Amino acid sequence: MKKIASVCPYCGAGCKLNLVVENNSIIRAEAADGVTNQGTLCLKGFYGWDFLNDTRLLTPRLTQPMIRYHKGDKFTPVTWEEAIRYTASKLKAIKEQHGPRSIMTTGSSRGTGNETNYVMQKFARGVLNTNNVDCCARVCHGPSVAGLQETLGNGAMSNSINDIENSKCLLVFGYNCADSHPIVARRVLKARQNGAKIIVCDPRRIETARIADQHLQLNNGSNMALVNAFGYVLLEEELYDKNYVARFADGLDAYRQTVNDYAPEKVEHLTGVSARDVRQAMRTFAAAPSATVMWGMGVTQFGQAVDVVKGLSSLALLTGNLGRPAVGVGPVRGQNNVQGACDMGVLPNMFPGYQDVTDAAVRTKFADAWGINVNDMDDQVGTRITEVPHLALEGKIKAYYIMGEDPLQTEADLGLVRRGFEALDFVVVQDIFMTKTAEVADVLLPATSWGEHGGVFTCADRGFQRFGKAIEASGNVKRDWEIISLLASAMGYPMHYDSNQQIWDEMRDLCPLFFGVTYEKMGEMGHIQWPCPTLDHPGTPYLYKDNQFDTPNGKGQLFAAEWRAPAEVPDADYPLVLCTVREVGHYSCRSMTGNCAALQSLADEPGRVQMNPVDAHALGVSDGQLVWVRSRRGKVITRANISERINAGAVYMTYQWWIGACNELTQDNLDPTSKTPETKYCAVQLEAIDDQ
Ligand code: SF4
């Protein structure tokens, strides 16, 4: 029996665990004393590993390269040589005929690790010669990255997960940490025990609301109006830190002009929150000796998400809550390595280390290091994942190489996504399971899983952590970066790596932000937060020390915008708001957690529609009853889950359920900057099914 130090492959909390292995099988996971989790795990950490033992609950593991030579054919098992030859020749032909930008690629924010993401973006940029590489940050915290880069200079948490409990006030906005990051929720609870004031802004009575000093139960879709009202109160009641703003922030006059129209009394009809409560919340927030703003996808999955992120960071700026311990802005990233995928440049506008693809000097640096002609590199921002269906239907994207993503389950408006896929000439899926997307691929490239390889993840607070290989993979599978390297070589660019560390060191040499984060420094249990520019640098637990912001003029940028209504509002035909949410026992598209026996038995029907008793009574729906949920784009069948915690007029579903995926209903109104879809808001109707 042996114990292998690893990092949980689910959420961005970055919990360290030990995988206990016997006879090449994992027999249990034990909590380890990681910096963010300190000897505890949530149920996914404890029970989320047995898909590695092939429990075959939901869908089979991919164990053999396969090709579908003609549309409509079945998959044919092939050798790796044939899979690589065929894929390389198809990609090469499409590139030659339609140009590099006709091919889309993805990195993966899950178990594959930072090294693979680095290699994937190198393949896209250096071999395919396109910036068309993206990841699922696009559909979650893309707005946090875009918004914070503009207002403060870095698209990441400014603070540390383990410092949340030291803050004296937490403004928790659109963030259900008990379900999405249970170990972060523990920090919120500890902060409460340490005397912090907790202000929760959420339409539902989420778990954190139960321990909050104030729960502002805002109307769905009114985020910008409420954030502006907060700013109005800070200015009008002169609660803001005038000295701090004068020294360290820009844009106060324009900010004041915009929020002037958002007196809380004036926007009560929009926000649904009483002016008295809004004023009280800001008095508490401004009076706290230290305050932290935390948010989740209740902020980012809207068509006006980037504006709201900028507005939330303005609240921290106005009150001087940046640049020291126990304060800051905390967009808590969802998937375990979505921060890392962004760090490694699987973004259409950034090389690894957040270096701009439109900067000629940066392109030259990478071209020289990779031994390619800089003139072959793409100098324009590439395509985002959410743009692919539209561009495929227009004939501009012809091929899609998808690694560790499942867009046919996770993207908004699945009918649109399916039509986009049908228009593609060539789809390659590199994954560990036969996902919904894998089912429609032309080529399947089976990869090793978390547990079967090691590497580095970045958790939500910018902390790099190593995870180990616990078992040997069974089946005819390969490491992700080995598959990509074989493809690159077959396309005429010799690429060969011997180890994760070799890739990591190549990446470090090109990224000043990460240069000091060596494998040795991380060790088995280390957690090194970027920026870490030199070998003797210890890492950065909080950003913006001395209030030096990483913006062009070094100042924080205040920002407010007029509230915009969501794209599709309820009407007589579709009278309810549908909002997508999380389920504590399952993760993302459920391909991993759905194959874990313990998690499956705890939540065997994720995806029930949560609704208020008033709406249920009006529609004649009883708890557990089968219902149809319809939007203008599709319909799904599920069971009702009736709860007082749900606000009247809205219903909530997770997207993990494979039978009635709620993304059949959602719509892809994209934020104009981040191109993130508005999966938190669309109009639906609900009909009880007589199942007697
Ligand atoms: Fe920790 Fe998140 Fe894993 Fe739970 S799912 S053990 S909170 S990393």
Domains of the chain: 66-135+338-516 (3.40.50.740), 142-332+552-557 (3.40.228.10), 576-688 (2.40.40.20)
Nearest atom of ligand 1 to the alpha carbon of 184 = 7
- Is the CB–ligand 1 distance for residue 45 below 6 Å? yes
Q: Do 616 and 76 meet the contact criterion of CB atoms below 8 Å apart?
A: no
Give the residue-averaged pLDDT of 547-572.
Answer: 97
Task: Please tell me the distance from the alpha carbon of residue 94 to that of residue 377, in angstroms, as a whole number.
Answer: 17
Centre of ligand 1 to C-alpha 43, Å, is 8
- Alpha carbon of 133 to those of 102, 108, 231, 294, 676: distances in Å? 12, 10, 37, 28, 15
Residue nearest to atom 6 of ligand 1 (CA): 45
- Is the CB–ligand 1 distance for residue 386 below 6 Å? no
pLDDT digits over 626-638, tens only?
A: 999 999 999 999 9
Task: Please tell me the distance from the alpha carbon of residue 584 to that of residue 586, in angstroms, as a whole number.
Answer: 6
- The helix/strand count (H/E) of the chain reads as 24, 28
Give the residue-averaged pLDDT of 558-566.
Answer: 97
Q: Where are the beta strands (DSSP E) in 264-388?
A: 292-295, 328-331, 350-351, 355-356
Q: Which of 7, 8, 457, 596 to mutate to test the pocket of ligand 1 (most atoms within 8 A of CB)?
A: 8
Q: Is the pLDDT of residue 590 over 80?
A: no
Q: Is the pLDDT of residue 692 over 70?
A: no
- At residue 691, the pLDDT reads 64
- 137, with CB counted inside 10 A (0-12, 13-18, 19+), is buried
Centre of ligand 1 to C-alpha 22, Å, is 23
Which residue type, as a one-letter code, is found at position 40?
A: T
Q: Where are the beta strands (DSSP E) in 289-327?
A: 292-295
- At residue 54, the pLDDT reads 75
Q: Is the pLDDT of residue 606 over 80?
A: no
Q: Do 91 and 132 meet the contact criterion of CB atoms below 8 Å apart?
A: no
Residue nearest to atom 1 of ligand 1 (CA): 15
- Is the CB–ligand 1 distance for residue 182 below 6 Å? yes
pLDDT digits over 670-688, tens only?
A: 999 999 999 999 999 999 9
Give the residue-averaged pLDDT of 264-279.
Answer: 98
ipTM of the complex: 0.99
| CA-based nearest residue to 482, from 458, 508, 453 | 453
Q: Do 345 and 351 meet the contact criterion of CB atoms below 8 Å apart?
A: yes
- At residue 558, the pLDDT reads 98
- At residue 248, the pLDDT reads 98
Q: Is the pLDDT of residue 320 over 90?
A: yes
| CA-based nearest residue to 655, from 608, 607, 586, 603 | 607
Q: Do 328 and 316 meet the contact criterion of CB atoms below 8 Å apart?
A: yes
Place of tokens 């993979």: 473
Task: Identify the DSSP state of 70.
Answer: S
Task: Please tell me the distance from the alpha carbon of residue 493 to that of residue 418, in angstroms, as a whole number.
Answer: 33
- Count of CB atoms situated within 10 Å of the CB of 2: 9
Please give the mean pLDDT across all residues of the chain.
94
Centre of ligand 1 to C-alpha 308, Å, is 27
- Is the CB–ligand 1 distance for residue 41 below 6 Å? yes
Question: Torsion angle of alpha carbons 511, 515, 519, 522, nearest 10°?
Answer: -110
Nearest atom of ligand 1 to the alpha carbon of 587 = 5
pLDDT > 70 in the chain, percent: 98
Give helix 223-236 / helix 252-259 axis angle, nearest 10°: 110
Task: Please tell me the distance from the alpha carbon of residue 15 to that of residue 32, in angstroms, as a whole number.
Answer: 8
Residue nearest to atom 4 of ligand 1 (CA): 42
Q: How confident is the model at residue 410 (pLDDT cuts 50, 70, 90)?
A: confident
Nearest atom of ligand 1 to the alpha carbon of 182 = 7
Give the residue-averaged pLDDT of 647-668.
Answer: 84
Of 349-358, 576-585, 620-629, which range is least confident?
576-585
- Structural Rg of the chain based on CA atoms: 24
**pTM higher than 0.80, yes or no?**
yes
Q: Which of 10, 184, 588 to mutate to test the pocket of ligand 1 (most atoms within 8 A of CB)?
A: 10
